[in-house]
Amino acid sequence: MSPDYEKEYNNRARVPEHPGIIAGWQADAAAYRTSSLNQLGLSYGPSERQYYDLFKPDSIRGNAVVLFIHGGYWQALDPSFFSHMARGLNGRGLPVAVVGYDLCPQVEVGHIVWELQQAAAEIWRSFNLPVVAAGHSAGGQLAACLLATDWKNVDSDLPDQLVPAAYGISGLYNLKPLTETSLNQALKLDLAGAERESPLFWPAPSRLSMDAVVGGGESEEYLKQSRRLTDVWGLEGVRTRYEEIAGANHFTVIAGLADPDSAMTTRLAELAGA
């Protein structure tokens, strides 16, 4: 029997307490903006959503900027909900850019991929540091796309390994199943477009690093999304890691990023050279 994709991908229905979790993000993020060393609203493009908030450590100990890309199925949320996701890595000596982007249906998913490429390029030009891409949910797709980007096609002046590592948290790497769900009302993907924007079907970024972690309490489709990417890319020479976070659902799975001592923050700091 084929999966019920509508049910498998409806995270808000699967986690009825999600409004309280999201309200908690908003409050924690606002608090961190007032207590941290930061620069807010740094533009990387002409639209009002094309900006990032930079959160800085007291002293830098790594050799990369971590780019945090929020989720929301490419159609919801913004960086103001996620400022505190920089707290853990800031405590490890790493700068974190929490990035925004335009949303569907105002733009297509492929345009959002392009926007994130522009954001990563702008960070590299500004700080002369590689970018480690960390993304949650739809942000996982965007992080994996950044890892697999041919940067010479973006701009001939950019280095080949502008993004040497990516860390996907409950990511979406094959978008084809979404064409059979109500989410597609805003995404407007046909099967060809869904394949084109699925990093699973891109040339694998061999010799680079891709971690895919997922909450142990998530749907079987979400577990499969991460397992399949690490299996397929791993066979093609990518340094992959798959991990299930016991007891975590789609919304609680990112909590470790706010804690400098969590396994998630420790691993991301390792990928960023700290």
pLDDT digits (tens, 9 = 90+) for 173-193: 999 999 999 999 999 999 999
Torsion over CA: 12, 13, 15, 21 (sign): positive
Residue 213: closest CA among 259, 274, 175, 264: 264
Cβ-contact 117, 152 below 8 angstroms: no
pLDDT digits (tens, 9 = 90+) for 118-135: 999 999 999 999 999 999
Over range 226-255, report the average pLDDT: 98
Number of Cβ within a 10 Å radius of residue 229? 27
Name the pTM for this structure: 0.98
pLDDT digits (tens, 9 = 90+) for 193-227: 999 999 999 999 999 999 999 999 999 999 999 99
Report the distance separating Cα 198 and Cα 176, nearest Å. Answer: 8
Contacts for 185-192 with beta carbons within 8 Å, 24 or more apart?
Answer: 185/105, 186/73, 186/74, 186/75, 186/104, 186/105, 187/73, 187/74, 187/75, 187/104, 187/105, 187/108, 187/109, 188/104, 188/105, 188/108, 189/109
Report the distance separating Cα 170 and Cα 173, nearest Å. Answer: 10
CA diameter of the chain:
54
Tell me: pLDDT of 1 over 70: no
Structural domain for 44, as ranges: 5-271
Tell me: pLDDT of 274 over 90: no
If one counts the domains in the chain, the total is: 1
Structure tokens at 139: 């942000």
Task: Report the CATH number at residue 47.
Answer: 3.40.50.1820
Over range 11-40, report the average pLDDT: 97
